[in-house]
Amino acid sequence: MKQKQGLLLIISGPSGAGKGTVVQELIAKGGYALSVSATTRSPRPMEQDGVHYFFLTKEAFDQKVAENGFLEHATFCGNQYGTPRAYVEEQLAKGTNVILEIEVQGAFQVKEKFPEAVLLFLVPPSLAELERRLVGRGTEDAETIQKRLGRALEELELMTKYDYLVVNDTVAEAAEDIAAIVRAEQQKCSRQKAFWNEFKGE
């Protein structure tokens, strides 16, 4: 049988949902690649080009936008961010599943250009638990935490446009859930045209 195309998996969710940890667990399973974003902002001390971000000048970024080189892009706080298309397409062609960890608006942009992408929303088991996690980090003050909670609720209203909602109760379970989703998605009839043609062709 021909090599199956990888799956483009978009993971969004509120700050504190545990996206980073769950994604690491998936990468450790093998068969997944994490897309690296491009940005015009300056690297922070420990950040490496090509690992944490591709650091581009504003001119290079705009050039890439003009060439349709991003699956999605947006500006936050005066800096541009985008998902380079070429890397994603190369990995998918090799049969590797690609994970994009992006926010809701970016996710919808990608889905438009790439309708076969799967949109997954990761949430903590409850709002109370989200608050506990944010407080536990100790990196944000009370006001910022309330803002983040409010934003989480707003984002959740958009959840109906997502394909899946995964509750991150434990990291291992959430990663298993996502692996099951990927396995299931690859068996959707809509993705099996190649198999079907081969089956008939005999």
Contact positions vs a copy of itself (CB under 8 A): 121, 123, 126-128, 153, 156, 159-160, 162-167, 176-177, 179-181, 183-185, 187-190, 192, 195-196, 198-200, 202
CB 99 within 8 A of CB 85: no
CB 152 within 8 A of CB 125: no
CB of 99 vs a copy of itself, minimal distance in Å: 16
Q: Of the two residues 38 and 122, which places its CB atom closer to a copy of itself in the complex?
A: 122
CB of 141 vs a copy of itself, minimal distance in Å: 22
Q: What are the tokens at 128?
A: 């109370």
Q: Of the two residues 76 and 199, which places its CB atom closer to a copy of itself in the complex?
A: 199
Q: Of the two residues 140 and 176, which places its CB atom closer to a copy of itself in the complex?
A: 176
CB 89 within 8 A of CB 5: no
How many residues appear in the chain?
202
CB 9 within 8 A of CB 1: no
Q: Of the two residues 33 and 181, which places its CB atom closer to a copy of itself in the complex?
A: 181
Q: Of the two residues 12 and 80, which places its CB atom closer to a copy of itself in the complex?
A: 12
CB of 109 vs a copy of itself, minimal distance in Å: 19
Tell me how far CA of residue 61 lies from CA of 58, 83, 166, in angstroms. Answer: 5, 11, 33
CB of 106 vs a copy of itself, minimal distance in Å: 18
Pairing of strands 97-101, 8-12: parallel
CB of 7 vs a copy of itself, minimal distance in Å: 12
CA distance 202 to 199: 6
